Amino acid sequence: MYAIFNKYTSFLLLMDAEMRQKRVEALEKIKEHALERAKKGADSFEVRDFVTSAKKELAYALPDEEAFRKAVKATQTYKGSKIN
């Protein structure tokens, strides 16, 4: 059973690394497009709106589960400290 667990966690870590790589590549593309828009004369609000929208779409397409877990843990810690 331990060997199966190791294979499974190795697979998950590999999958996580691949997802992170895809996110990095997507963020680089967003950066390139934003810089391109700025060079073409788009004002800063348009560029910022593009970046915000693109990052939101990326979050839906490739969610960052580790960030989600951290946020949940922080929320639980905060709620626990409020009760005491």
Q: Long-range contacts: 54-61, Cβ < 8 Å, 24+?
A: 54/30, 55/27, 55/30, 58/23, 58/26, 58/27, 58/30, 61/26
pLDDT of res. 15: 59
The model scores a pTM over 0.85: no
Q: Show pLDDT as tens, one digit a residue, over the chain (84 residues).
A: 444 445 544 545 555 788 889 999 999 999 999 999 999 999 999 999 999 999 999 988 888 888 888 889 999 998 887 665
pLDDT of res. 17: 80
pLDDT of res. 36: 97
